[in-house]
Amino acid sequence: MQGIHFDNTVFTIEDVAQRESLSYKVKVSDYGEAIDLLIEKLAKEVDTEQLSAIGHRIVHGGERFSEPCEIDQQVFDALHAIIPLAPEHLPNELQLVTELRNAFPGVKNIACFDTAFHGSLPDVARILPIPRKFASKGMRRYGFHGLAYENVLSQLEQLGLPRKSNVVMAHLGNGASLAAVRDGLSIDTSMGFSPTGGIPMSSRTGDIDPGIMSYLLNNERIEPVSLSNLINNESGLLGVSGVSSDMKKLLDVYDTDAMAAQAVDLFCYEVKKMIGAYAAVLDGVDALVFCGGIGEQAPKIRTKVCEGLEYLGLKLDRGLNDKNEQSIADKDAKIAVYVIRANESMAIAQNVKHIIQGNNA
């Protein structure tokens, strides 16, 4: 369900096996109403007697959870204890788990963690430059969008890209991040301790000078709750443009609104910088992948990101890029460039299937 709290909330039912989906607009005013609607639709559309498990995208697994697992009471309590690591996400996710357990008491609930994919980060990418005492409190780089990256990586293998490749994946959507992947393992990623870090996003700041936080707290007298709202909901594309957090709307007015154009240019500039940084980390790049709503549907963004990276051997075929084809690199390019739809639902389904089969073995 997308767009909760807005007038254009969209409810989608997807059959990943049949590659079919049905979407329609609904009216829900808050997360609780969205859960009620989901349970109502499940009861009507699914033979719950045949339902053996429900997969959940859990944004944060903390230090403890690096693999999918069944959410028993012990796991639930452990996730509740790390809410401070993801206060924007975990409370709603755990509320959904609670309601589904109550509605379908005989059905297993399986947690699939967005942070798990980045469990392979080396220490140099994982540690934060703050006093060591805070590491014991769970303060380190975690990385997110792991389920999306997991699925994209499996699709790349199906396309014939060798697993032993250096890949930069750019997941560009409302939330946006990049990951450097070597031999199928994440070795660096732009989001850090929280999903707010990294490149600018629709309404999140991404990385900014920590001194700005001190200034806002001490000189603007902003309360911590208001500061959190500012960096998560009022910044990024929305804050810079003053128009919208929606990239499509900003592109529509790119030629007539200077601040909207500046927001778009800043976004592309930061993505380009990260690609260059990850080319250095990986000692070269074999493939660049665009995914996420913006990455999949905005040829102009892909063009602006790739301009100036020709020295890496990166060159787009303009016609293929404009058509949002799956492979968009020029025939003379040294780096493959792909546009791939990240299917997090498929990644969750595969993880749930693995857990169930393991339990029944």
Residues involved in catalysis = 114
Q: In what order do the strands lie in the sheet with 69-70?
A: 53-58, 108-113, 69-70
HEC readout, the chain: CECCCCCCCEEEEEECCCCEEEEEECCCCCHHHHHHHHHHHHHHHCCHHHCCEEEEEECCCCCCCCCCEECCHHHHHHHHHCHHHCCCCHHHHHHHHHHHHHHCCCCEEEEEECCHHHHHCCHHHHCCCCCHHHHHHCCCCCCCCHHHHHHHHHHHHHCCCCCCCEEEEEEECCCEEEEEEECCEEEEECCCCCCCCCCCCCCCCCCCCHHHHHHHHHCCCCCHHHHHHHHHHCCHHHHHHCCCCCHHHHHHCCCCCHHHHHHHHHHHHHHHHHHHHHHHHHCCCCEEEEEHHHHHHCHHHHHHHHCCCHHHCCCECHHHHHCCCCECECCCCCCEEEECCCCHHHHHHHHHHHHHHHHHC
CA 216 centroid distance within chain: 28
Residue 41 CB contacts under 8 Å (≥ 6 apart), including other chains: 11, 13
Q: Are 38 and 26 in contact (CB under 8 A)?
A: no
Q: How far apart are CA 91 and CA 86, in angstroms?
A: 8
